Structure 1
Amino acid sequence: MSTKTKKQDQVDTLEQETNQYEIVLFNDDVNTFDFVIDSLIEVCEHTLEQAEQCTILVHYKGKCTVKTGEYNELKSRCTKLLSKGLSAEIV
């Protein structure tokens, strides 16, 4: 593999990484574990196990990345989480 090809691969990888955003869910004292779990299953298409793990992380760590992807894909999901009364943002 030539040096030019290696450098192009690195550029392509960097471009893919920079187009990735995250929805971060934050802890609150309002919503129940079950509500957050159900919301993550519905909005982020998590499995039950994923939703439970994220909910526990949010509770104990204060926040958790619940979904990654392109901004346009995440925007509607984040809006749905916010409309359910959860605290989330895209970073």
Structure 2
Amino acid sequence: MATKGATKEKTNDMVHKPKRYKVIMHNDDFTTMDFVVEILIEIFHKNQLEAENLMMCVHRQGSAVVGVYPLDIARTKINDATNLAKQEGFPFKLTMEEA
């Protein structure tokens, strides 16, 4: 028996994955290769070999994607790396774009 005057609630069961963003590292003539490798290991959690390979890609090609993350994580990693670079006096540059 149907309940008189009952309202059906509409639910949206669709779960959307958050947008992801590429973090891009850019080459410059002042930031040391050792510092770049250190950033890649400490902030982006790359192993030594992967960090060295990425650093060389940035050096040779001018830039490289170093990770793909949700927006908040991408911003945090960029801010952390930029702050460390400023402390060391490097003009290190990272950007992000939607993946």
- Return the alpha-carbon distance in structure 1 between the equivalents of residues 27 and 84 of structure 2: 14
1:22-76: CA deviation from partner (whole Å, max 9, x where unpaired): 1100000111111110111011111111110110000000000001011111111
Matching residue within 80, 93, 96 for 1:87: 93
Q: Secondary structure at the match of 2:68?
A: strand
Greater share of helix? 1
Unaligned residue ranges in structure 2 (runs of 5+) = 1-14, 86-91
Point out 4+ residue stretches in structure 1 off by more than 3 angstroms: none
* Aligned-residue identity in percent: 22
Deviation of the 1:84 alpha carbon: 2.6
RMSD between aligned alpha carbons? 1.8
Normalising by structure 2, report the TM-score.
Answer: 0.71
Normalising by structure 1, report the TM-score.
Answer: 0.77
Which of 1 and 2 has greater Rg? 2
Alignment of 1:21-40 (within 5 A): 21-40=21-40
Deviation of the 1:19 alpha carbon: 1.1
The letter of the residue matching 1:87 is K
Q: Secondary structure at the match of 2:43?
A: helix
Unaligned residue ranges in structure 1 (runs of 5+) = 1-11
